[in-house]
Amino acid sequence: MTATETALGKGSRTASSARWAVTGLALRQTHRGAAVVIALTALISVVAVGAYRSTVASPSDAAGLAALAENPAIRTLFGEPVALDDAGGFAVWRTGTVLSVLLAVWGLLAATRITRGEEDAGRWDVLLAGRVPVRSVVGRHLVTLVAWVLLAGVAAFAGLVAAGAAAGGAAAHATGLALCGVFFAALGTLTSQVFAARAAASGAAVAVLGVGMLLKMVGDGIADLEWLRWLSPFGMAALARPYDGDHVGPLAVLGAVCAVLAVVATAAAGRRDIRGGHLPSPSGRAPRRVLLGSAQAFAVRRLLRPLAAWSVGIGVYFLLIGVLAVSMTAFLTRNPRFAELAAQAGFGGLATVEGYVAALFALLAVPVGAFVAVRLAGLAQDESSRRLTLLLAQPVTRVRLLAAEATAAIGGAVVLTTVAGLATWAGARVVGAGLGLPAALSGAWNVLPVVVLCLGTGVLALAWAPRAVALAGCVPAVGGFLLEVFADTWGWPTWIGQVSPFAHLAAVPDAPVGWLAAMVMTSFGILAALVGAVGYRRRDLRV
């Protein structure tokens, strides 16, 4: 073997090692979030099947549920009811939309974060100066995300089968979920090549997600427009009709679209400049100095765009909740069996409009708590990306900066809960449900103590576990809700369910505000935030 051949062999092995190192980097950047998504997918699937077995005890119960599901508003909100006489079919109808959106959102945000976000931060400069071209780097990151999403689909299948649902329908459902996640992971990767900024890439992908959900909802709710579902990945996944035919055709079409999108995204990566995009950011724009005069004003400026997007999503959802008020309460009045089972699960009073909206307002704590956690996680990300270095070199203390971000986040939470209350009142007013505006607002604001707990745990994590701020901040809301659901579904001891903050929320507006519990939760949240602020001030900056 000549010296040239030896050198070429070593170079090939070095390039191969570099490529596997890129894959390892992608795994390291995504494994925590992927583990949470996979676990949630499996647990929610198991709980949905268990809820069906404990709720639908007779054919008359199934018939009543099917009658409710034929309501156009219910179909718009939860999707077309399919095979509701089967535990697996019920689980798919009740959780399919939620899980597909969960996988889609995680896939697209993870894609823009680990591709465009890392490149914008300059952490790919040395990597891309080596033996691995940008196309290979982007492709390996996309393959990693696809693998995680496929594992989430396997988790959904395993959860349904373990709970006793039939394997055929579970396979169709799990495949649809996984393909929705793959579609948006590939879309996020593509927008990261098209746009030169992470915010623009994420915004474009989220806009496609919103349009896709809208097309599915319109197709589900209006029979003459059901063809619109073929234009949405969520709609094509639903057209597979798990447990009612298990049609392969829509899944094959969706799989082909995902493959094309992945190929285009990878090819687009090799046809642009490093740190650039096919649509570069506009230059020469007039400076916008609004809300740049202080740390507090800048925190508000950073909040405005995401707050607007979250407000639209929450407002539309709770508008539908208000529109459904009459249908739901009338159904429960005609079917006391369902009202009785709901009361046993801790959701009493659903036969009245006030009790119905009180039960659903409790769920508002989950998205609003997640919103606060995400805002604090953004502060942690700014620190690790060194965007705060020059700011903190000025006479701006860390505590002042944290207080500005925390205050803005809580202010945003107040806005979101107010939007939910107004939207619910407006929807109820349209159908003549008789829900007053003060009652709707008080029910929405009732979840703010749980949101303050999310703020406190997020600040604690910012001080001692900055990489886990989003996860820790979501624990009181997401973890508390899941704990209460599991405790009720599986009959755990009462004291376990009492650990959840949701166990101490009064059913407002059906009942008076529980001021004592609210003050205790708020006090714990504030105390945790103060302790976290001290820790944040005393630790070193992350670089």
Query: Average pLDDT by consecutive 10-residue portion of the chain (543 residues)?
Result: 46 66 89 91 88 65 63 72 84 89 93 88 76 87 96 96 92 96 96 87 89 88 86 94 92 96 92 76 65 81 89 89 83 67 57 86 92 90 76 78 92 96 94 91 96 96 89 90 77 84 91 93 96 90 67
State both tokens at 518.
């609210």
Q: Which residues lie closer than 8 Å to 9 by C-beta, 6 or more apart?
A: 1
Task: Decide if 537 contacts 399 (C-beta within 8 A).
Answer: yes
Report the C-alpha gap between 487 and 59 in whole angstroms: 27
CA distances from 338 to 47, 329, 433, 478 (A): 18, 11, 20, 25
Task: Decide if 467 contacts 381 (C-beta within 8 A).
Answer: no
- The backbone torsions φ and ψ at residue 163, rounded to the nearest 5 degrees and listed phi first, read -80, -5
pLDDT of 14: 62
Report the C-alpha gap between 195 and 188 in whole angstroms: 10
Longest dimension (CA), the chain: 89
Task: Decide if 481 contacts 502 (C-beta within 8 A).
Answer: yes
Report the C-alpha gap between 169 and 159 in whole angstroms: 12
pLDDT of 231: 94
Q: What is the pTM of this model?
A: 0.79
Domain boundaries, the chain: 27-280, 290-543
